[in-house]
Amino acid sequence: MLAEAARALAAAGVPSARAEAELLAAYVLQVPRGRLALADGFTDEQLDRYQALVARRCQREPLQHLIGSAAFRHLELAVGPGVFVPRPETELLAGWGVEQARVGGRAEPLVVDLCSGSGAIALAVAQEVPAARVVAVERSPAALSWLRRNAAARAAAGDRPIEVVEADATDPHLLDELTGRVDVLLCNPPYVPQAVAVPPEVAGHDPAEAVFGGADGLAVIRPVVDRAATLLRPRGVLGVEHDDTHGTVVPGLLAADGRYVAIAEHHDLAGRPRFATGSRRADRPRPDTAGTWQTGSS
Ligand SMILES: C[S@@+](CC[C@H](N)C(=O)[O-])C[C@H]1O[C@@H](n2cnc3c(N)ncnc32)[C@H](O)[C@@H]1O
């Protein structure tokens, strides 16, 4: 049965067809994938369900939509239509954010996750840095309902509740009340350039506003880099994921802004440029020129 399903999935162009055939079988049988060999065979009803799921996957419906959840670091997040499925590569940005939130032993580090989607990054930080105050910002009403559902589930599981804010990450007044106070600002924005072709799972099921970042892929990143410099405290840090063609462009945006130092580019496990980071310059505004910044120290 598994071999037959794997063949059908491979013929439909599904990558890792055998693994997905097993994951779907494990889901139907309600056993961990590693214990499939020990499981009883399908009942007739289970077989019908399995074949229906395989058929939907052959239509390139995302595996995570079919099983209703996505793994992200130590979390299982509810996902489905209307929300971006969190990707394994974003675990690296979240992990970097977790490390940064722990640096310096602050009693209550303030962490902001812009473009939060399912809440993957925000909820990972809340789980792994229990002392952190975490604020998650999302604009899409559909994504917000998944975010609130995941946030409620994690709070019920005992994690510190996160704060969910419905807002546009490109708003020049975004989170005004946190100006100069944020320790760690993380963002996995929509960043694929508009003309780039994406796989059927993405084109048909991830919301376009979660994927495409305008003609050059930087439509959200540019204002986020600007706004983050205002929200971060001196020496607070920004981490922003980007398209793998933007490994020099996004660090260049941070450098051009003039308010970041220690700018670095980070690669994913496949060696592709994946996210850029920078630290807020430690200058203070001159008392007589509100809104302008001294330069020269960091
Ligand atoms: C690539 S997804 C990332 C979701 C999540 N952070 C993750 O890593 O899985 C981008 C998210 O940004 C949201 N988004 C797009 N434009 C936005 C904006 N201007 N303000 C706030 N959220 C936005 C989308 O709705 C989507 O949920």
Q: Number of folded domains in the chain?
A: 2
CA-nearest residue for atom 6, ligand 1, is 116
> What strands lie across the sheet with 133-138, from one edge to the other?
163-166, 133-138, 110-114, 182-187, 232-241, 273-280, 260-267
Tokens 């229990």 sit at which residue?
130
**Residue 50 CB–ligand 1 contact under 6 Å:** no
Predicted local distance difference test score (pLDDT) of residue 186: 98
Counting ligand 1 atoms within 8 A of each CB, the residue from 75, 84, 113, 164 with the most, and so the one to mutate, is 84
The answer to whether residue 204 is domain-embedded is yes
Summarised one tens digit per residue, pLDDT across range 242-257 is 999 999 999 999 999 9
Q: Are residues 102 and 165 in the same domain?
A: yes
Spans in the chain with pLDDT lower than 70: 284-298
DSSP per-residue letters across the chain: -HHHHHHHHHHTT-TTHHHHHHHHHHHHHTS-GGGGGGS----HHHHHHHHHHHHHHHTT--HHHHHTEEEETTEEEE--TTSPPP-TTHHHHHHHHHHHHHGGG-SS-EEEEES-TTTHHHHHHHHH-TT-EEEEEE--HHHHHHHHHHHHHHHHTTPPPPEEEE--TT-TTTTGGGTTTEEEEEE----B-TT----HHHHHHS-HHHHB-STTS-TTHHHHHHHHHHHEEEEEEEEEE--TT-TTHHHHHHHHHSSEEEEEEEE-TTS-EEEEEEEE----B-TTSTT-B--S--
Q: Are residues 17 and 154 in the same domain?
A: no
Predicted local distance difference test score (pLDDT) of residue 40: 87
Predicted local distance difference test score (pLDDT) of residue 295: 39
Q: What is the mean pLDDT of the chain?
A: 94
Q: Are residues 214 and 124 in the same domain?
A: yes
For residue 137, report the distance from its CA to the centre of ligand 1, in Å.
8
Predicted local distance difference test score (pLDDT) of residue 284: 57
| pTM score, whole prediction | 0.93
Predicted local distance difference test score (pLDDT) of residue 296: 38
**Residue 117 CB–ligand 1 contact under 6 Å:** yes
**Residue 220 CB–ligand 1 contact under 6 Å:** yes
Boundary (domain end) residue, out of 29, 59, 89: 59
Residue 187's domain comprises: 81-297
Distance CA(48)–CA(51), nearest Å, equals 5
